[in-house]
Structure 1
Amino acid sequence: NRLKKKKLLIQVNNLKKQIKNEKKKIYLIKKMENKIKELDQTIKDLEKEIAELYKKAKSSKGASNKMYMQRCMNLMKKKKLYDQQIQNYLSQQFTLDQVAFTKENIQNTLDMGVAMKQATQQQKLLFDQVNLDELEDIRDDMEDMQYETDYMNEMLNRNYDIGVDEYELDEEFQQLDNELFQEQIAQQNLNKNNQQINQNLNENSQLQKNIN
């Protein structure tokens, strides 16, 4: 029990240190971000002031021109100093971010290792429950059933041969040809009779006209 309490106490202390370090890191990052914003605004104000002084210098001569140009030079040096300070803050912020990313990557790697170990153990337990012989028997049974099913389908779809006498088929085709020929002859005779009747009617009609 004492050993467990000691380990628990160590874990709690480590957690407190981590929380304290995280808070300190967050405080430093926010502090630098605020400082960068302040310097950036100061630089913008300096640029505006430099532009106004340069306009005055361009429109003046002699001592006034020299005075305005000197003030512009001083403000530009000041602006450059602030630019350099911003770069320093950005470098420090980048270093903190890099440390945080490295720590996060290490923690992710450790977490992934633990997860992989747990998954491997679970897979091993599941695999131990698998009966390979039983699976092989099931597969053999499935193959047998598939073979029997294919055989039954083949039997059901089998085409039975029917004996055909080619001579009888030729006779049937010949009979059909004769029937078609007779139908054509009958149609031709009917057409001739109709033409003859129409001709006789026309002649009678013409004769009647002549008599009248």
Structure 2
Amino acid sequence: MKRVFGAKKDKEPPPSLNDASDRINKRGESVDEKIKRLDGELARYKEQIKRTRPGPAQEAVKARAMRVLKQKKMYEGQRDMLYNQTFNLDQVAFAQEGIKDAQQTMSALKSANKELKGMMKTVKIQEIDNLQDDMIDLMDVSNEIQESLGRNYSVPDDIDEEDLMGELDALEADMGLETEGEGVPSYLQPDNEPDYDDLNLPSAPTGHAVPSGRVNNQVDELGLPPVPRASLRG
């Protein structure tokens, strides 16, 4: 059967935008090379026209220059067409890349949305509110415990604050009476100094005591008798 009808050929994949753009760019480069070559010929013909006198020879050069100029215009038209095709392919490729980016963005958003829904199932507003209420109750109990532990055992609860203020005022008044003598307490004022004459204390010595046994009333600068020198025997 294959010999009669032949084997089915596999279809080649269609060219991508990049392949088509590269092919057109190569054609454009080839056309640019041809235009440059024609520009060089036109430059030579212009120089020949300048050096040739008017006449049949000059007209022949002009005819060849006109032919080259027509070819150049044709190639320039082809180059412009290729540039337009390349621009269109670039626009399509840009749109294609934008659609791919949009697809990836939508896929990422769908995945994130699914994850968020799964996470929201584990977090409930009512449970959060109940947890906050429990924390407030625990803090209140903690404050009550701290106040109970910090209570002073020595101060009775039935003391009147007005009585305390009265005692405080009386204490300040007593302190003011004690410090009336120019800021000196009563126990430091001159009237309360002790009388040292009643103590019968001995008077202070007025001179140096001379020890007994001094010789010829000789004393040193401290009021002490001089040390006798030992005799040296030969």
Report the TM-score, using the length of structure 2 for normalisation. 0.49
Gaps of 5+ in 1: 1-15, 149-162, 173-212
Aligned position for 1:46: 38
CA 1:129–1:24 in structure 2 vs 1: closer, same or farther (change >3 Å)? closer
One-letter code aligned to 2:28: I
CA 1:54–1:130 in structure 2 vs 1: closer, same or farther (change >3 Å)? same
Aligned position for 2:124: 131
Aligned position for 1:94: 87
Aligned position for 1:68: 61
How far 1:139 sits from its partner (Å)?
5.3
Of all paired residues, the percent bearing the same amino acid is 25
Higher helix share: 1
1:79-129 superposed Cα distances (whole Å, 9 cap, x missing partner) = 111011011112222222323332332233233222212211111111111
CA 1:135–1:73 in structure 2 vs 1: closer, same or farther (change >3 Å)? same
Aligned position for 2:159: none
Alignment size in residue pairs: 145
Pairing partner for 1:106 from 76, 99, 105: 99
One-letter code aligned to 1:62: P
How far 1:25 sits from its partner (Å)?
4.0
Aligned position for 2:28: 36
| Kept after mapping to 1: 8 A contact 2:38/2:72 | yes
How far 1:134 sits from its partner (Å)?
3.9
CA 1:57–1:124 in structure 2 vs 1: closer, same or farther (change >3 Å)? same
Q: Supply the distance in 2 between the matched residues of 1:51 and 1:84 (Cα, whole angstroms).
A: 21
Aligned position for 2:47: 55
Gaps of 5+ in 2: 1-9, 144-170, 184-234
Q: Supply the distance in 2 between the matched residues of 1:77 and 1:62 (Cα, whole angstroms).
A: 23
CA 1:60–1:115 in structure 2 vs 1: closer, same or farther (change >3 Å)? same
Equivalent position SS for 1:74: helix
One-letter code aligned to 1:112: T
Aligned position for 1:175: none
